[in-house]
Amino acid sequence: MDAVFPVEQLRPLHAELFPGPQLEGRHTASCEVHFAPFELPNPNDDVTSEDYEALTFESPLRLDFIDLPTLNLNALAGQTFTFPANPEHGYIDGSIYFVGTHNPVDITRITFGTLTEHGLPVTFEGTWQMEFEASGFQAFETTIHTTLQRRAGTA
């Protein structure tokens, strides 16, 4: 039986929005959501073994092929976008690198708040498919609240 991922330990620091790859002849957006690192028990290892090592969660959530009308934060403010889950046409190609593999993440809703001097508040809703690559954890739904920034060096 797969373990329950400690969702309460996910502490988003910020997100970065930047130009993504072209898809069907049009530009898309990409995004990385960065989290504070933390340790958690390894469900695939015997905790009583002298070789036991806890897992460290320290990778960003990577989202590609996001179909947004613009990368302009002013224009995105106050808008909500919905997306299908993979493999439906128009899905966001999301993953988190954890336990040595890219675990799929289906982001189905992105909501942008009101732009401030600190950035654009953003909410990502979706399901982390942790069972897909046998991470030892169950899939889980979560909502992530953070602040979106333009990646340094992008116009």
| Cβ(94)–Cβ(126) below 8 Å | yes
> Can you give the pTM of this predicted structure?
0.89
Q: What is the DSSP string of 52-64?
A: ---EEE-PPEEEE
DSSP 3: B
d(CA 67, CA 152): 21
Residue 22's CB: how many other CB atoms inside 10 A?
10
DSSP 88: S
Would you list the domain boundaries of the chain? 7-150
pLDDT, residue 120, reads 96
pLDDT tens-place string over residues 57-108: 999 999 999 999 999 999 999 999 999 999 999 999 999 998 888 999 999 9
